[in-house]
Amino acid sequence: MGPIGIFGGTFDPIHYGHLRTALELLQRLSLAQVLFVPSARQPLRDPSITPVSTRLAMVRAAVQGEPRFAVDTRELERPGPSYTVDTLESLRGDHGQRSLCLLLGMDAFLSLPRWRRWEDLPGLANIVVAHRPGWQPPGQGPLADLLGRCATERPTDLHDHPAGRVLVTPVTQIDVSASEIRECTASGEDPRFLVPDSVRDIILETECYAR
Ligand code: ATP
């Protein structure tokens, strides 16, 4: 059984930057599947995010039709802030010694030292970091040290080890962010071609980004 990719986010909304990155990582690293894990309450984010039900509906709509993508709602079912360390402990409990790969954009990787118990994360999963426009890999500090200890360029290492390896890899750079989509939609622009049509339909129906 191949590794399970874990792609967490606010997904407010999910967009082609998320989806294309997940698919490229899945194919290149021969992951068995990618779980999209929408967060309920992100400790480091503005609390005024779109209601869970709408964000979840958009994630479900986006992954439909790609059998290797699935939605995992454990953070939505848990009270309190959505800490990745809790999610990985819970997934580790479900999957025993199977390889887990936490998929992060470079911006998210660089914020890792602010995450709760971040130093425990490599013990629970491998970490895969996708380049993101405008963000450079760390040159020094705790993340550079982590890369010094754990970096690998071999996808097979992610199959052979259930956790503990860090792989940084380029992906097709799609310079879109959820905040830009919220802003352009709020100012009356059409988010078409930045998100799947099924996600656009939900944005238009719920008017979730209307000012
Ligand atoms: P926001 O603009 O609201 O901050 P976002 O577009 O960055 O949102 P998140 O839900 O915060 O989306 O991101 C979840 C994950 O997706 C993070 O690991 C982030 O690095 C990654 N990600 C977001 N946008 C892209 C993109 N365009 N290309 C690659 N990875 C991305």
- With the most atoms of ligand 1 within 8 angstroms of its CB, the residue from 10, 39, 54, 175 to mutate is 10
16-50 as b/e: b if 16+ CB within 10 A? bbbbbbbbebbeebebebbbbbbbbbbeeeeeebb
Cα separation of 105 and 132, whole Å?
6
Residue closest via CA to ligand 1's atom 15 equals: 9
Ligand 1 site, residue 177, Cβ cutoff 6 A: yes
By CB atoms closer than 10 A (0-12, 13-18, 19+), residue 166 is buried
Ligand 1 site, residue 176, Cβ cutoff 6 A: yes
Q: Are 16 and 58 in contact (CB under 8 A)?
A: no
Class of domain 4-174 as given by CATH: alpha beta
Ligand 1 site, residue 84, Cβ cutoff 6 A: no
Q: What is the pLDDT of residue 45?
A: 67
Q: What is the pLDDT of residue 46?
A: 67
User: pLDDT by residue (tens digit) across 36-80?
Assistant: 999 997 776 666 689 999 999 999 999 999 999 999 999 999 998
For residue 197, what are the contacts with CB-CB under 8 A and spacing of at least 6? none
Q: What does the H/E/C string look like for 167-180? A: EEECCCCCCCCHHH
Cα separation of 13 and 177, whole Å?
9
Q: What is the mean pLDDT of residues 19-41?
A: 97
Ligand 1 site, residue 182, Cβ cutoff 6 A: no
Ligand 1 site, residue 9, Cβ cutoff 6 A: yes
Mean of the per-residue pLDDT values of the chain:
95
Q: Are 175 and 148 in contact (CB under 8 A)?
A: no
User: pLDDT by residue (tens digit) across 67-116?
Assistant: 999 999 999 999 989 999 999 999 999 999 999 999 999 999 999 999 99
